[in-house]
Structure 1
């Protein structure tokens, strides 16, 4: 009797400087990886993935660069699931805000990411590094 191979995860990783130019670089790279996996510009998840990548990388640039000169974007493609991870070495683990910053400087990015993930049938998490010196923002989106 033949035994099926377990589903394979295809991982894509990109190390980024925490500078503004990394945001469009992350989007371009994510778009190319999506296309390579058959998720072209017309796929229902493409815009969601690109928005999530933009928001999370922007957050590392705006809020973590002082302690983390580099960040990592990782896309894990499984048969029925895409997991987006953005890791930096700033210890603060942000939470979604109830209201934007009073000075108009933002504050809605994580809410937007969370809502987009929910609309797609997925979810979000923030995982602290075991040493407490960084974190990974995680977004899971079903592909099926």
Structure 2
């Protein structure tokens, strides 16, 4: 009886990782022009890599990225010489993470009739956009005393076994 079919595949036989999978990082100064710069860089990267994201899903991801970088520019610039931006695309999810040096952990502010401010609801928008797409978002502390705010959205055409729920809120 031939048992060679039971053996694991040889490394040379492993399937190649698609070009759209990976993690990409860059830093930006905490200035207003960094918001569109981050958005254009990530959108162009996802297009060049042919990530399986529809125009609607890409728009949601760009909206989230814009809000997170804007928050870092507006609220963390004094303690942040550089804003870190990271995007990860795996077989099921597209992650975006924005890191700054400010220790404050923000939370989403719900709209109310008593609150007449037009600002302060960016994280509510991030949360709603992520949840509407079937993803999630969160914030975690960094070793340096700052924070990373992250959001994850499912891919439109997941490969392999489909993910049935978003990663846990404590995800990186």
Supply the distance in 1 between the matched residues of 2:151 and 2:118 (Cα, whole angstroms): 24
Q: 1:16 is matched with which residue: 13, 19, 28?
A: 28
Compare the two structures and name the one with the higher strand fraction. 1
| Structure 1 residues 121 and 91: CA distance shift in structure 2, 3 A | same
Long gaps (5+) in structure 1:
none
Q: Normalising by structure 2, report the TM-score.
A: 0.74
Query: Corresponding residue for 2:134?
Result: 121
- CA RMSD of superposed structures (Å): 2.5
* Number of equivalent positions: 143
TM-score, normalised with respect to structure 1? 0.88
Matches within 5 A, 1:1-144: 1-3=7-9, 10-39=22-51, 43-99=55-111, 102=115, 104=117, 106-131=119-144, 133-143=145-155, 144=158
| 121 and 89 in structure 1: CA distance in 2 versus 1, 3 angstrom threshold | same
Distance verdict in 2 for CA 1:81–1:6, change over 3 Å: farther
Q: Mean alpha-carbon deviation: is it higher for 67-76 or for 100-109? A: 100-109
